[in-house]
Amino acid sequence: MFSLFRKHIDSFNLASVAVDMHSHLIPGIDDGAKDMDNTMELLRKFSELGYQKVITTPHIYWDYYKNTSEIILEGLQKVRERVEQEQLPIQVEAAAEYFFDAHFLDLIDNDEILTFGDKYVLFELPFLVEPYNVDQLIFLLLGKGYKPIMAHFERYLYYHSKTLAMAEDFRRRGVAIQLNLLSLTGHYGESVRHQAELMIEKNLVDFVGTDCHRIEHLEIIKRNLKKKNFSKLSELNLKNNQLL
């Protein structure tokens, strides 16, 4: 019995994901990495875990983090220079995690959006109160030729009573769904973990991300890679490695 059970708890291989597309590694511009040494520590850990590329996504949330494309890209250049100096075996790109607010709508109107891959745009909603005009946002993004990705869908509490139906509806309308690996560890609570597991069970996940802000996040993920809910990720048709 025990030998049969052990066959099912091999660690989930993050090398198969290959690309992390949600993190906060540009130093000193949001609630992620504090300085360049911190950024390098995080990138070394990403490489150790098997990632080949990190597309880091600083917050653009105008009430709190007034980042611009210029600020982010300048930070990226400095990170790349340090990566080259230290000869880290990992690629680094940058986009943004856009909070759904009036400023984001203005950026869409003015074509001032940082994208990655095939014009993907990562955005997040408020966690507690459902916005009334998400449909407008989706319409604007798709109309401009962008491919929206909704960040950490499992964390929006107002969708918890209808997670599967809403995820199916958004995907049908052209919105990809991203799940946080930390959600599977219980880091955000049991309700969020349950929603994440439901989404995996019903194959409603397009991308997974670490949403890494600090080294502890990667260490938590590493400790949980043998859990059953992580092993089920291998059954999904994830798009992360298409970003190489």
Question: In terms of Cα–Cα distance, which of 199, 209, 189 is closest to 229?
Answer: 199
Distance of CA 124 to the CA centre of its chain: 10
- % of the chain exceeding 90 in pLDDT: 95
Q: What is the pLDDT of residue 9?
A: 58
Question: How many angstroms separate the first and last alpha carbons of the chain?
Answer: 40
The answer, yes or no, to whether residue 4 has pLDDT greater than 50, is: no
pLDDT tens sequence across 7-59: 455 789 999 999 999 999 999 999 999 999 999 999 999 999 999 999 999 99
Q: Identify the residue whose tokens are 């990720």.
A: 233
Average pLDDT over residues 227-238: 97
Position 2 pLDDT exceeds 70: no
Cα Rg of the chain (Å, integer): 18
pLDDT the model gives residue 79: 99
Please name the residue that has the structure tokens 């906060």.
Answer: 24
Write the pLDDT tens digit of every residue in 62-119: 999 999 999 999 999 999 999 999 999 999 999 999 999 999 999 999 999 999 999 9
What letter represents residue 41's amino acid?
E
Residue written as token pair 């802000």: 213
Query: Which position has the token pair 């490489």?
Result: 47
Euclidean distance between CA atoms 76 and 53, whole angstroms: 13
What is the pLDDT, as a whole number, of residue 6?
A: 45
Q: What mean pLDDT comes out for the span 133-149? A: 98
Task: Name the H helices within the chain.
Answer: 2-6, 36-48, 69-86, 102-109, 134-143, 163-172, 190-201, 215-223, 228-231
With a threshold of 0.85, does the pTM exceed it?
yes
Q: What residues does each domain of the chain span?
A: 2-243
Q: What is the reported pLDDT for 10?
A: 75
Residue of higher predicted confidence among 11 and 159: 159
User: What is the rounded distance in angstroms from the CA atom of residue 237 to the CA atom of residue 202?
Assistant: 12
Task: Please tell me the predicted confidence (pLDDT) of residue 5.
Answer: 39
**Residue 225 — pLDDT band, cuts 50, 70, 90?**
very high
Class of CATH domain 2-243: alpha beta
Tell me how far the alpha carbon of residue 201 is from its chain's centroid.
19
3-state secondary structure of 148: strand
